[in-house]
Copies of this chain bind each other. A is one copy, B any other.
Amino acid sequence: MINQLKERRTIRQYLDKEIDDSLLNELLETAFRAPTTGNMQVYSVVVTRQQENKERLAPAHFNQPTVTQAPVVLTFCADFNRFVKWCELNHAQPGYDNFQSFVTAAIDALLVAQQFCTAAELSGLGCCYLGTTTYNAPQIAEALHLPRLVIPITTLTVGYPAHTPAQVDRLPIEAIVHHESYRDYSPEDIQRLYAYKESLPENQQFIAENHKETLAQVFTDIRYTRENNELFSKIYLDFIVKQGFKLPE
Please report A residues at the B interface, Cβ cutoff 8 Å: 1-2, 4-8, 10, 25-30, 32-35, 37-41, 43-50, 53, 77, 81-83, 85-87, 89-96, 98-101, 103-104, 106-107, 110-111, 113-115, 117-119, 122-123, 127, 129, 131, 134-135, 143-147, 150, 153-154, 167-171, 173, 175-182, 184-185, 187, 190-191, 193-194, 213-217, 219-221, 223-227, 229-230, 232-234, 236-238, 247-249
In the complex the two chains form, what is the Cα distance from A119 to B111 in whole Å?
Answer: 14
Q: Are B144 and A182 in contact, with the CB atoms below 8 A?
A: yes
The distance from the CB of A11 to the nearest CB of chain B, in whole angstroms, is 11
Q: Judging by beta carbons under 8 Å apart, are A28 and B173 in contact?
A: yes
> In whole angstroms, how far apart are the Cα atoms of A89 and B8 in the complex?
31
Bound Cα distance from A203 to B7, whole angstroms: 41
Closest to A134 in B: B103
Distance between Cα atoms of A96 and B216 in the complex (Å): 13
Q: Contact partner of A48 among B115, B180, B214, B221, CB < 8 A?
A: B180
A147 — nearest CB in chain B belongs to which residue? Answer: B184
Q: A5-B119, A38-B131 are in contact. Are A216 and B145 (CB under 8 A)?
A: no
Would A41 and B170 count as touching, CB distance under 8 A? yes
Pick from B44, B99, B173, B216: contact of A176, CB below 8 A: B44
Q: In whole Å, how far is A134's beta carbon from the nearest beta carbon of chain B?
A: 5
- A92 shortest CB reach to chain B, Å: 4
A247 contact set on B, CB distance < 8 A: 233, 237
* Residue from A115, A144, A249 whose CB has the most chain B CB atoms within 10 Å: A115
Given contacts A38-B131, A110-B114, A150-B182, 7 further A-B pairs with CB under 8 A are A89-B187, A91-B214, A92-B217, A93-B220, A111-B129, A146-B182, A234-B249
